[in-house]
């Protein structure tokens, strides 16, 4: 081998090492900020986190303040959001993947759905305010908030479900059709059972995004101070991110700390949602 060749190998090895280091560094920066952030929140908030914090309504006095109404509000809003978004999203995905023909109109729909996934959430908030709060007269209710969040996460659920449906092997579908099954029987018989883990994972991740949203709910009119529990979908409400946002905008430093405690609760909620997604996926995958 010529000397130039050997030099070349050395240079390539150096380049490789340099980029290896740079890529590791960029990973490290992201993780470091995350760790610092979480550490700061834990330091500030952990001391304020106790059972009273969960079971008390918000208060002017930091020592008495709690997240009862925000936690219950979040559960109400997310339950309704799931109720609306899951059937709509999965239904749309089934239509696009299994029923609609490949045409310009289908492609247009597809592009629009992908674009909608990138629209800032505040825009959905304005839409929710105009349509659900004003036009439909649902007012500043749990229903308005859920419908707004449904619109927000619908594109994500549709795209994730489409991917799951695409992953169903063609041989399974053919096997079903060859037994004289209609399209709908094939969808319920082999397509959905196979795609369900992927669809559930996508849906839960989308819902956990909705749990963390504050901006659109502020537009729709969530309240910063709610000292009662909602009794139905038409009631006023607040949610965890709104409550946290409200506390962080107060001047007293104690409120900063209970905001941190609220963030911890929110994080626990989000992580458990993701854990459920993983458990569901594993459970259904094992069955296959």
DSSP state of 49: -
Binding residues for other proteins, total number by CB under 8 A: 22
- If we measure between CA atoms, which residue out of 163, 194, 164, 200 comes closest to residue 277? 200
Q: How far is the CB of 202 from other proteins (least distance, A)?
A: 20
**Which residues 20-49 are close enough to bind other proteins by CB under 8 A?**
none
Q: How far is the CB of 162 from other proteins (least distance, A)?
A: 18
**Which residues 173-202 are close enough to bind other proteins by CB under 8 A?**
173-182, 185, 189-190, 193-194
Which of 21, 47, 91, 169 is close enough to bind other proteins by CB under 8 A? 169
Among residues 197 and 233, whose Cβ is nearest to other proteins? 197
Q: How far is the CB of 182 from other proteins (least distance, A)?
A: 6
Among residues 112 and 285, whose Cβ is nearest to other proteins? 285
Q: How far is the CB of 233 from other proteins (least distance, A)?
A: 38
User: For other proteins, which stretch binds (CB under 8 A), given 32-40, 68-76, 171-179, 257-265?
Assistant: 171-179
User: For other proteins, which stretch binds (CB under 8 A), given 46-54, 168-176, 195-203, 231-239?
Assistant: 168-176
Q: How far is the CB of 187 from other proteins (least distance, A)?
A: 12
DSSP state of 47: G
Residue 200 burial (C-beta neighbours within 10 Å; 0-12, 13-18, 19+): buried
Among residues 182 and 249, whose Cβ is nearest to other proteins? 182
Which of 5, 31, 101, 231 is close enough to bind other proteins by CB under 8 A? 101
Tell me how far apart the alpha carbons of residues 218 and 198 are, in angstroms, rounded to a whole number.
Answer: 32
Q: How far is the CB of 112 from other proteins (least distance, A)?
A: 22
Among residues 65 and 168, whose Cβ is nearest to other proteins? 168
User: For other proteins, which stretch binds (CB under 8 A), given 82-90, 126-134, 155-163, 172-180?
Assistant: 172-180
Write out the DSSP string of the chain: --HHHHHHHHHHHHHHHHHHHHHHHHHHHHHHHHHHHHHHHHHHHGGG-SHHHHHSPP-SSTTT---HHHHHHHHHHHHHHHHHHHHHHHHHHHIIIIIS-SSHHHHHHHHHHHHHTTS-HHHHHHHHIIIIIIIS---SSHHHHHHHHHHHHHHHHHHHHHHHHHTS-HHHHHHHHHTT--HHHHIIIIIHHHHHHHHHHHHHHHHHHHHT--HHHHHHT--S---S---STTS----HHHHHHHHHTSSSHHHHHHHHHHHHHHHHHHHHHHHHHHHHHHHHHHH-
Q: How far is the CB of 183 from other proteins (least distance, A)?
A: 10
Among residues 118 and 180, whose Cβ is nearest to other proteins? 180
Residues contributing to the site for other proteins (CB under 8 A): 101-102, 169, 171-182, 185, 189-190, 193-194, 287-288
């Amino acid at each position: 081998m010529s000397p130039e060749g050997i030099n070349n190998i050395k240079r390539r090895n150096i380049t490789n090492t340099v980029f290896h280091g740079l890529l590791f560094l960029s990973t490290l920066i992201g993780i470091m900020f995350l760790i610092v952030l979480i550490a700061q929140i834990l330091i500030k908030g952990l001391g304020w986190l106790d059972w009273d914090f969960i079971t008390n309504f918000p208060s002017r006095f930091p020592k008495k303040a709690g997240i009862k109404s925000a936690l219950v509000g979040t559960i109400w809003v997310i339950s309704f959001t799931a109720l609306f978004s899951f059937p709509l999203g999965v239904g749309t995905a089934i239509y696009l993947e299994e029923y609609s023909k490949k045409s310009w109109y289908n492609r247009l729909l597809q592009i629009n759905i992908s674009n909608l996934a990138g629209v800032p959430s505040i825009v959905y908030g304005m839409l929710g305010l105009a349509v659900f709060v004003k036009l439909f007269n649902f007012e500043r209710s749990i229903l308005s908030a859920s419908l707004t969040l449904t619109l927000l996460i619908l594109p994500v659920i549709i795209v994730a479900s489409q991917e799951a449906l695409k992953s169903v092997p063609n041989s399974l579908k053919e096997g079903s059709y060859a037994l004289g099954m209609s399209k709908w029987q094939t969808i319920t018989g082999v397509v959905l059972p196979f795609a369900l883990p992927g669809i559930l994972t996508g849906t839960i991740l989308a819902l956990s995004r909705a749990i963390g949203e504050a901006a659109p709910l502020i537009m729709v009119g969530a309240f910063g101070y709610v000292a009662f529990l909602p009794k139905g979908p038409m009631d006023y409400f607040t949610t965890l991110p709104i409550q946290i946002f409200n506390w962080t905008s107060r001047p007293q430093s104690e409120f900063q700390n209970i905001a941190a405690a609220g963030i911890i609760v929110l994080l626990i909620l989000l992580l458990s949602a993701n854990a459920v997604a993983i458990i569901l996926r594993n459970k259904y995958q094992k069955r296959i």
